[in-house]
Amino acid sequence: MGAATAVELLRDGHRVTVVEPGDPGGRQSASFGNGTLLNPSSVIPMSSPGLWRKVPGYLSDPLGPLAIRWSYLPRLLPWLWRFIRAGSSEAKIAAIARALRPLLVDAPALHRKLAEEAGVGELITRQGVLYVFPSRADFDAEGLSWRVRRENGVRWLELNEEELRQQEPSLDRRYKFAVLVEENGQCADPGAYVNALMQHAQSLGATHRRTRATGLRIEARRLRAVSTDDGEIACDKAVIATGAFSKSLARAAGDRVPLETERGYHVVIENPGIAPRYPVMPSDGKMGCVMTPQGLRLAGQVELAGLTAAANWQRADVLRNFARKVFPGLPAEFPKEQLKVWMGHRPSMPDGLPCIGPASGCPDVMHAFGHGHVGLTAGAATARLVADLISGKTPSIDPKPYAATRFYPAANYPGQR
């Protein structure tokens, strides 16, 4: 969000300083280690009807695809309650999908354009993504999701067993049905992409301050400065694009947002000995299996355990072990040096929609965080939207569904007090 927004703001003639303590696109950011997918079809929120019945299972299985740490449950409860309610009916899911789609549609083309400007156009491809199922019945069991996707303009090709075998011979024969979503794409190396965007921004005049933003100096609802570990940076506008770490800055701008981290993991297997043609999403694995310049990346898992708890690397083993069930050609063991593991923080709002738009306590401060599972995909459109709002242009996307205030009845919204 930060790097792409910097480029768009420079395009509009603003002077830009990016405050980022680490390397842009480095391991500290969710953007480094995600599933690499640019999926306009990813409009379905994580929450679904009847989810509350599954919560005991999430608590008892620390290695399941969605796990909640007991010790974190008390702090998580308010978010979890909103999360369960957000997807409790098809109508709610359809409304979220309608609101999300404009940020995702055309993502591969928008990113390709940005990447080309930054000199790394080859990182972005639109080859389609393959969703594979043990049977047609397993696809039908996800009927609600695919129905809502279709209502939002997502189209796909259905592949029977024979066609699937031809398209992706590396897959286990257990998979007998697939859909190929051709509009979906991939950014082969998201960390390198973000880094290239930042270098491009710097070549256009942006400054990178390697420090942490700690607060905002707001006087009479006007922004005067961003405070950092190394003193203040005077400015008249600011964009909060600090991913899962945005809560306290949003609070400083008058918005008490229910932002959580959905921690995710990846394993990269160098020289895996197989080379799937398509990014593959196995329905029974809840993970993405994608080729990257570094090797086969297996990315997924949701762990609700907060920002500071230690990683549970057994979860990375779960991803690796399941990958052998997807690709039987993967060797059973790899030397340790061939495996790279990572854990990162998806910045997640309970309803799966981001927070974008002016802060309640100060219209000079713009939110640009909370994109959960689709932040890579939505990055290009969000950056343009934020730049339009800051530059006073009429944006092509209506920001209303992303207002931070949507979780509060207008009367007692904290930012108004």
Ligand X SMILES: Cc1cc2nc3c(=O)[nH]c(=O)nc-3n(C[C@H](O)[C@H](O)[C@H](O)COP(=O)(O)OP(=O)(O)OC[C@H]3O[C@@H](n4cnc5c(N)ncnc54)[C@H](O)[C@@H]3O)c2cc1C
Per-residue x/- mask for ligand X, residues 148 to 167, rule CB under 6 A? Answer: --------------------
CA distance 176 to 165: 8
- Residue least distant from ligand X (Cβ): 375
Half-sphere CA count of 345, side-chain side, radius 13 A: 21
Stretch 370-399 residues interacting with ligand X (CB under 6 A)? 371-377
Stretch 223-262 residues interacting with ligand X (CB under 6 A)? 241-243, 245
Rule CB under 6 A: is residue 192 a binding residue for ligand X?
A: no
CA distance 240 to 404: 12
For ligand X, the binding residue among 346, 359, 385, 386 (CB under 6 A) is 346
- Measured from the CB atom, the residue of 286 and 406 that comes closer to ligand X is 286
- Measured from the CB atom, the residue of 149 and 346 that comes closer to ligand X is 346
Q: Which amino acid is at 4?
A: A
**Piece in contact with ligand X (CB under 6 A), picked from 108-116, 122-130, 366-374, 396-404:** 366-374
**Piece in contact with ligand X (CB under 6 A), picked from 23-31, 80-88, 161-169, 172-180:** 23-31
For ligand X, the binding residue among 347, 350, 357, 361 (CB under 6 A) is 347
- Residue 265 C-beta: closest distance to ligand X, Å: 6
The b/e string for 205-243 (b: 16+ C-beta within 10 A; e otherwise) is: ebebbeeebeebebeeeebebbebeeeebebebbbbbbb
Rule CB under 6 A: is residue 213 a binding residue for ligand X?
A: yes
- Measured from the CB atom, the residue of 174 and 217 that comes closer to ligand X is 217
Rule CB under 6 A: is residue 1 a binding residue for ligand X?
A: yes
Rule CB under 6 A: is residue 21 a binding residue for ligand X?
A: yes
Rule CB under 6 A: is residue 320 a binding residue for ligand X?
A: no
Rule CB under 6 A: is residue 406 a binding residue for ligand X?
A: no
Q: Which residues contact 268 (CB under 8 A, 6 or more apart)?
A: 292, 294, 295, 296, 297, 298, 339, 340, 341, 342
- Measured from the CB atom, the residue of 176 and 267 that comes closer to ligand X is 267
Stretch 259-318 residues interacting with ligand X (CB under 6 A)? 264-266, 288, 299-300
- Residue 192 C-beta: closest distance to ligand X, Å: 13
**Piece in contact with ligand X (CB under 6 A), picked from 43-51, 81-89, 164-172, 369-377:** 369-377
For ligand X, the binding residue among 15, 22, 78, 205 (CB under 6 A) is 22
- Measured from the CB atom, the residue of 37 and 132 that comes closer to ligand X is 37
**Piece in contact with ligand X (CB under 6 A), picked from 13-21, 176-184, 252-260, 407-415:** 13-21
CA distance 58 to 146: 24
Q: How many Å separate Cα 318 from the centre of its chain?
A: 21
Strands 260-269, 280-282: pairing is unpaired
At 417, list the tokens. 């007090």
Q: Which amino acid is at 143?
A: G
At 86, list the tokens. 């957000």
- Residue 353 C-beta: closest distance to ligand X, Å: 12
- Measured from the CB atom, the residue of 176 and 297 that comes closer to ligand X is 297
- Residue 20 C-beta: closest distance to ligand X, Å: 5
- Residue 202 C-beta: closest distance to ligand X, Å: 16
Rule CB under 6 A: is residue 19 a binding residue for ligand X?
A: yes
- Residue 132 C-beta: closest distance to ligand X, Å: 16
Rule CB under 6 A: is residue 30 a binding residue for ligand X?
A: yes
Site size with ligand X, rule: CB under 6 A? 37
Among 199, 190, 224, residue whose Cα is nearest residue 294 = 190
Residue 227 pairs with which residues in a beta bridge?
A: 215, 232
- Residue 38 C-beta: closest distance to ligand X, Å: 7
- Measured from the CB atom, the residue of 176 and 288 that comes closer to ligand X is 288
Contacts to ligand X by CB under 6 A: 1-2, 19-22, 28-31, 34-37, 212-213, 241-243, 245, 264-266, 288, 299-300, 344, 346-347, 369, 371-377
